[in-house]
Structure 1
Amino acid sequence: MTSIIPVLDTRTAEGSALQAVLLDMDGTLVDTEGFWWDTEVEVFAELGHVLAEEHREVVVGGPMTRSAAYLIQATGADIAVPDLTLLLNARFEELVDRGVPLMPGAARLLAELAAHDVPTALVSASHRRIIDRVLKSIGSEHFALTVAGDEVARTKPHPDPYLLAAAGLGADPARCAVVEDTATGVAAAEAAGCCVVAVPSVVPIEPAAGRTVVRSLEEVDLPFLRSLIPGVR
């Protein structure tokens, strides 16, 4: 189930127009994009197929079912999407259970948001069973709400996950700052009408209207996020 804690006052300290911060998980807060690719390579090797590097750029940041369907089509593997999804999730869980490294700047950013009582949500295309495992490394106490890819009818790149997170926090999407690492996640956040900070992990992302691109979470802090909301400088 999506975890929602009521927010009585969505205005953050100092009268900022920023109402909430919505954070992606894989590749943004935790260094797991490599885990996913290693999992996909291993599973397809066992199925008798070799994944090329160009496949990685297509599947990064996407929902599991889309990635599985693409890789089956690209390789001709004799396996159904639901069966492949189960294999990939099970293998990924084995890796995650050994511990997940946080991205540089992630722990500091989460602590800063908590210290200033900024409503914060985790919004991921990963399934709930994966999120709950990764939260053991991140710390579930940092989030008032978490949204998993298998808890919405349409996950990223559709806006639904971010619209659900904003509504759950009682925030206007236009006054939410989203931090994402993939084009798929950026598309979802922008379609929801949020202000976006892109921290590319595997594939480059270009700056655009309403989108700021940085090299690392070490460049992202609360004053920076507040400055992104229209009307606040």
Structure 2
Amino acid sequence: MTRARSSTPAAHLPPDRLPAAVLWDMDGTLVDTEPYWIAEEYALVEAAGGVWTDEDAHDLVGQDLRVSARMILDRTPVTGTVDEVVHALLAGVVRRTRQHMPWRPGARELLTELSEAEVPSALVTMSWAPLAEVLVEHLPEGTFTAVITGDQVARGKPYPDPYLEAAARLGVDPADCVAVEDSPTGAASATAAGVPTLVVPHTVQVPQMPRARQLESLEGVQARDLVRLATEQLSVRG
């Protein structure tokens, strides 16, 4: 279920208040799992006798997993169904993540502060539930009030549906939230949903876009900073 976004401009949010909720991307934003995905892509394609490149891998960053799987099938000798490719990649990334949870700088600390301040957080990821569950298991119970994964929405990022669904589940207006993303696809999804967005680029560059403000890092960012940072053209240096 989704709802229409608010027409309230993000710039009208009082900059000194806490957001109604924070909506988090996962891969590359909370945890540095993009190298895991890329490694699994290389392994899958090379096992089929194909060639994969970093440029190919970067095209997949932030995409719905079914879109990524289709791109692999279209570009390489890999065979099977879209879902079979997704499950092959996902199994490898889940295994790697269980062995080591690679937190991005400042992310876990900010999650903890938001929880202590009783600001709801939602996980909004194009990864499927098995990987999201690994992350949730590494955090105190109740850290995320809602979890939206790529296998739960008909249209994934860059469409606004995942972020609209997150706001609907939390019962908040998208314009009163802050999203945290790392990719062009994710930032496009959040801003299309009307969510003021903080972008911390990591694996790929993200172009400037309306309603999105870029930071170098989440290190040192506190809950009370989020609305101001998401609605002003500022930069935080890690």
Taking structure 2 as the reference length, what is the TM-score of the superposition?
0.85
Shift of 1:113: 0.6
Post-superposition Cα deviations, 1:54-77, rounded to whole Å, max 9, x if no partner, equal 101200111111011111211243
Q: Equivalent residue for 2:227?
A: 226
Other structure's SS at 2:28 match: coil
Work out the CA distance in 2 between the residues paired with 1:118 and 1:18.
7
Unaligned runs of 5+ in 2: 1-14, 233-238
Partner of 2:138, secondary structure, is helix
- Aligned-pair identity (%): 37
One-letter amino acid matched to 1:135: V
Q: Which residue of 2 aligns with 1:66?
A: 67
Alpha-carbon distance in structure 2 between the residues aligned to 1:101 and 1:17: 27
* Residue type at the aligned position of 2:192: A
The answer to whether the 8 Å contact 1:17/1:175 transfers is: no
* 56 and 138 in structure 1: CA distance in 2 versus 1, 3 angstrom threshold: farther
* Separation in 1, partners of 2:219, 2:82: 38
Residue matched to 1:7:
none
**For residues 139 and 185 of structure 2, what CA distance do their matches in structure 1 show?**
22
Q: Is the 8 A contact 1:17 1:229 kept in 2?
A: no
Give the TM-score, by structure 1 length: 0.87
Whether 1:100 aligns to 2:97 is no
CA contact (8 A) 1:195 1:228 kept: no
Match of 1:211 in 2: 212
Q: What number of residue pairs does the alignment pair up?
A: 218
Report 1:1-233 matches (<5 A): 16=17, 18-228=19-229
- Contiguous gaps of at least 5 residues in structure 1: 1-13
Residues 17/28 of structure 1: CA separation in 2 closer, same or farther (3 Å cut): closer
1: CA distance between counterparts of 2:18 and 2:110?
Answer: 19
Rounded to whole Å, the distance in 2 between the matches of 1:229 and 1:19 is 13
Shift, 1:203, TM fit:
1.0
48-57 or 88-97, which deviates more? 88-97
Q: Is the 8 A contact 2:18 2:224 kept in 1?
A: no
